[in-house]
């Protein structure tokens, strides 16, 4: 087994140039005009740049969906796996290769519906992984069906009269399930989004970041939410950065969405805990227990 | 040193009394397996339990995942990272693994899946033996895909075939299923734990990264794999991909790449196939059986020969790809072929496909959760000789 990663940071921070981190031969990308996923991708690569992460040591595992397609654009070791399962694939990879930075890119359907079980258990285990969930409130890739994060009353191709189901708060779910780090940001604040991702990448345990993305083409349009800038501004007006949390206004704006670093703790990281356990087994087992 | 202080140790013996599942776990370790992810299910759980003890001692990783889907996903993820990796399960869990098994076949990620068969369908009979997953092991995932399935028939063979499963998975970059049933899984037999040579390793990418094409085959039809960290930064996807690893739907490119994938194992059939023939040269009746049923068939052949009946047995050890030519040769002089199996006639379909209509083919099917009695096979052979 290789030695775990040590982050050294990008000492001489050169200007960030996204072209150094993407596979230019894959351009133009396939995202719709106005889609927020590309902004999230840029923020991730910016954070990678600032931390000085070597592209050869970066592994990106993504699920299926528009969000899942992003891995193919990153000039790193990239794995586009099956729908809902990227956290499980990434867990195996991270356990045998603690020398890699393993980043998971997933959608709200990928992460919380089909992948919901893997999600809560990955949070609980607290294995060193960085998970970015791009929440566009809809199943984008399959044409705009309702997702576990679609707000009530929203119209989708499978909720033609408006969604009647309540939705998940992914960050609350991650925190309750034991994630070591939980953050959320909107795509309107790119530097802040980059900072949250950077903090997530630096976190020693499982780090979950929810990116509030927008699906203009097949979600915004159906719900008369305007074009992409309007959707993004609406998100901005609905958030409440974590720094404001205790101000007097809170009770009067109960529906705001907290953003920023929402939770960060020092729970033991699972990979390190397992290696420690293995060491104990090895020293205790020698001589005592016979094989066979 | 006085004689009294010299410890008199018996020569370390490689002989062990083991159950099939424990032999499987030890075979995996001997083959270089360093990652196991699984989810408990009868009658396979002893494999996980044993590996949870063995793996940490050899710097490997054991993890119990949240379900079987996660288990095979983690196994494929570990293999992508360069480790030899395995999962083990039984029917219901094998069903859950099928989508990711197809992913491993298409993306060409080596891995080993052990399926200890129990009575099915559905939850079925968790503690009873069956051979109902013979066709699922070949066709369980959607689409056309290559797969190797090994079907050991004894505890010793489980040890050896598990080692071979890793070698084949690495050599041909394909998932390999080790398929046996509850009765051999929990049978105790003496096994000689022969240490294999150095573990077989897949071909890793070498040479200049600019020239590397992740799915361009080497001379043997199998592409070299990029290990993360080695500087190749390639893309792996379950979408149909071109030689460069990126998705494509261009018909010629799809045809070329899927064609190579499907031909990959056919090309190496001779090296992959394995079977046993027992007194088939002059046999009037050839019994075709696999796994535990072949042990009953072997006894039946002996009983028949003692009575002067010319019976023989053909046993596929590599179940898929099915050893077609070898079966044709073994059955070339037979008047009748009998296929005893603990299902409703799955392998018989394959035997019929291979031998055609020139020979009489009958099945002896048992779906009660009991193994097949040698006497029942003997009686059917006798009936076929009249
Ligand atoms: C097992 C399986 N079920 C269903 C699908 C079809 N499918 C592809 S993408 C997708 C939903 C993606 O939605 P989300 O995760 O929210 O990502 P987005 O496309 O919105 O970024 C579904 C259901 C699939 N590929 N595999």
Q: What CATH number did the domain enclosing B340 receive?
A: 3.40.50.920
CB B48 within 8 A of CB B211: no
Q: In 3D, which of A3, A263, A6 has the Cα closest to residue A126?
A: A263
Query: Digits of tens for pLDDT over chain A (292 positions)?
Result: 577 777 766 655 689 999 999 999 999 999 999 999 999 999 999 999 999 999 999 999 999 999 999 999 999 999 999 999 999 999 999 999 999 999 999 999 999 999 999 999 999 999 999 999 999 999 999 999 999 999 999 999 999 999 999 999 999 999 999 999 999 999 999 999 999 999 999 999 999 999 999 999 999 999 999 999 999 999 998 888 877 766 655 556 666 889 999 999 999 999 999 999 999 999 987 555 544 4
Contact status of A88 with chain B (Cβ, < 8 Å): yes
CB B30 within 8 A of CB B195: yes
Q: Which residues of chain B have pLDDT under 70?
A: 1-11
- Residues of B65-96 as b/e, b for ≥16 C-beta within 10 angstroms? bbbbbbbbbbbbbbbbbbbbbbbbbbbbbbbb
Residues B187 and B279 occupy one common structural domain: no
Q: Would the CB atoms of A91 and B238 count as touching at under 8 Å? A: no
Q: What is the pLDDT of residue B15?
A: 95
Residues B169 and B286 occupy one common structural domain: no
| Angstrom distance (rounded) from CA A88 to CA B372 | 40
Residues B301 and B168 occupy one common structural domain: no
Rounded to two decimals, the ipTM of the complex is: 0.96
Please report residues of B whose CB lies closer than 8 A to that of A97. Answer: 81-82, 228-229
Which tokens belong to A256? 């705001």
Cis amide leading into B43 (omega within 30): yes
Is residue B24, in this structure, part of any structural domain at all? yes
Contact status of A290 with chain B (Cβ, < 8 Å): no
Counting from 1 in the atom list of ligand 1, the atom nearest the Cα of A111 is: 15
Domain's final residue, options B146, B171, B193:
B193
CB A59 within 8 A of CB A100: yes
Q: What CATH number did the domain enclosing A190 receive?
A: 3.40.50.970
Determine the length of chain A: 292
Among chain A residues, CA nearest to B63: A92
Distance, in angstroms, between A147 CA and closest chain B CA? 21
Q: What is the pLDDT of residue B3?
A: 44
Question: Residue A168 belongs to what domain range?
Answer: 30-287
Is residue A15, in this structure, part of any structural domain at all? no
Residues B128 and B30 occupy one common structural domain: yes
Is residue B260, in this structure, part of any structural domain at all? no
**Domain count along chain B:** 2
Q: What is the pTM of this model?
A: 0.96
Residues B324 and B188 occupy one common structural domain: no
Residues B292 and B184 occupy one common structural domain: no
- The helix or strand, by DSSP H or E, that contains position B275, with its residue range, turns out to be strand B275-278
Is residue B251, in this structure, part of any structural domain at all? no
Q: What is the pLDDT of residue A243?
A: 72
Which tokens belong to A123? 């949070």
Is residue B61, in this structure, part of any structural domain at all? yes
Is residue B234, in this structure, part of any structural domain at all? no
Q: Is B306 helix (H, G, I), strand (E, B) or coil?
A: helix
| Angstrom distance (rounded) from CA B77 to CA B63 | 13
Give the number of other Cβ atoms within 10 Å of residue A155's Cβ.
Answer: 17
Distance, in angstroms, between B93 CA and closest chain A CA? 16
CB A89 within 8 A of CB A118: no
Q: What is the DSSP letter of B203?
A: P
Question: Residue B282 belongs to what domain range?
Answer: 275-384
Is residue B237, in this structure, part of any structural domain at all? no
Please report residues of B whose CB lies closer than 8 A to that of A104. Answer: none
Residues B189 and B279 occupy one common structural domain: no
């Amino acid at each position: 087994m290789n030695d775990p990663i040590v982050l050294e940071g990008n000492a001489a921070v050169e200007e960030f140039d996204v072209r150094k981190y993407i596979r230019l031969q894959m351009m133009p990308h396939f995202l719709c005009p106005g889609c927020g996923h590309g902004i999230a991708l840029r923020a991730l690569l910016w954070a990678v740049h600032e931390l000085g992460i070597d592209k050869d040591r970066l592994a990106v595992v993504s699920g299926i969906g528009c969000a899942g397609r992003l891995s193919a654009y990153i000039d790193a070791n990239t794995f586009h796996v099956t729908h809902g399962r990227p956290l499980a694939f990434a867990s195996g990879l991270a356990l045998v290769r603690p020398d890699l930075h393993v980043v998971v890119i997933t959608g709200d359907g990928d992460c919380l519906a089909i992948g919901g079980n893997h999600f809560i258990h990955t949070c609980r285990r607290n294995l060193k992984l960085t998970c970015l969930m791009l929440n566009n409130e809809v199943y984008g890739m399959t044409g705009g069906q309702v997702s576990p994060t679609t707000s009530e009353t929203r119209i989708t191709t499978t909720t033609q009269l408006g969604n009647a189901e309540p939705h998940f708060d992914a960050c609350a779910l991650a925190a309750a399930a034991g994630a070591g780090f939980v953050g959320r940001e909107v795509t309107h604040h790119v530097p802040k989004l980059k900072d949250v991702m950077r903090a997530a990448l630096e976190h020693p345990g499982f780090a979950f970041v929810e990116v509030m993305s927008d699906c203009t083409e097949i979600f915004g349009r159906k719900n008369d939410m305007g074009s992409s800038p309007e959707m993004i501004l609406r998100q901005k007006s609905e958030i409440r950065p974590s720094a404001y949390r205790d101000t007097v206004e809170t009770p009067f704006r109960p529906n705001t969405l907290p953003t920023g670093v929402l939770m960060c703790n020092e729970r033991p990281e699972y990979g390190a805990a397992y290696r420690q356990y293995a060491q104990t087994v090895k020293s205790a087992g020698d001589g005592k227990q016979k094989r066979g | 040193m006085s004689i009294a202080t010299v410890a008199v140790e018996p020569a370390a013996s490689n002989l062990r009394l083991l159950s099939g599942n424990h032999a499987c776990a030890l075979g995996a370790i001997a083959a270089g397996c360093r990652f196991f992810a699984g989810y408990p299910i009868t009658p396979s759980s002893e494999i996980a339990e044993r590996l949870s003890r063995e793996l940490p001692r050899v710097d490997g990783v054991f993890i119990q995942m949240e379900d079987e889907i996660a288990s095979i996903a983690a196994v494929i993820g570990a293999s992508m990272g360069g480790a030899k990796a395995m999962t083990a399960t039984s029917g219901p869990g094998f069903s859950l693994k099928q989508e990711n098994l197809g992913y491993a076949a298409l993306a060409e990620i080596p891995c080993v899946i052990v399926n200890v068969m129990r009575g099915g369908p559905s939850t079925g009979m968790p503690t009873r033996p069956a051979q109902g997953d013979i066709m699922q092991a070949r066709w369980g995932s959607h689409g056309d895909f290559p797969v190797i399935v090994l079907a050991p028939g004894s505890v010793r063979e489980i040890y050896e075939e598990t080692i071979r499963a890793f070698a084949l998975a690495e050599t041909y970059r394909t998932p390999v299923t080790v398929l046996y049933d509850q009765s051999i899984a929990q049978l105790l037999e003496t096994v000689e734990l022969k240490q294999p040579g150095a573990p077989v390793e897949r071909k890793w990418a070498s040479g200049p990264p600019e020239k590397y094409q992740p799915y361009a085959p080497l001379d043997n039809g199998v592409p070299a794999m990029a290990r993360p960290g080695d500087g190749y930064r390639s893309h792996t996807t379950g979408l149909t991909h071109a030689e460069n690893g990126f998705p494509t739907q261009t018909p010629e490119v799809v045809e070329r790449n899927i064609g190579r994938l499907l031909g990959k194992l056919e090309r190496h059939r001779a090296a992959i196939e394995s079977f046993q023939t027992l007194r088939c040269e002059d046999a009037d009746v050839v019994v075709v059986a696999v796994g535990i049923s072949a042990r009953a068939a072997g006894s039946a052949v002996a009983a028949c020969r003692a009575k002067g009946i010319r019976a023989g047995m053909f046993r596929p050890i590599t179940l898929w790809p099915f050893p077609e030519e070898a079966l044709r040769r073994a059955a070339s002089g037979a008047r009748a072929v009998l296929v005893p199996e603990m299902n409703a006639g799955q392998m018989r379909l394959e035997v019929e496909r291979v031998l055609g209509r020139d020979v009489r083919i009958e099945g002896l099917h048992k779906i009660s959760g009991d193994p097949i009695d040698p006497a029942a096979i003997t009686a059917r052979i006798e009936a076929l000789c009249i």
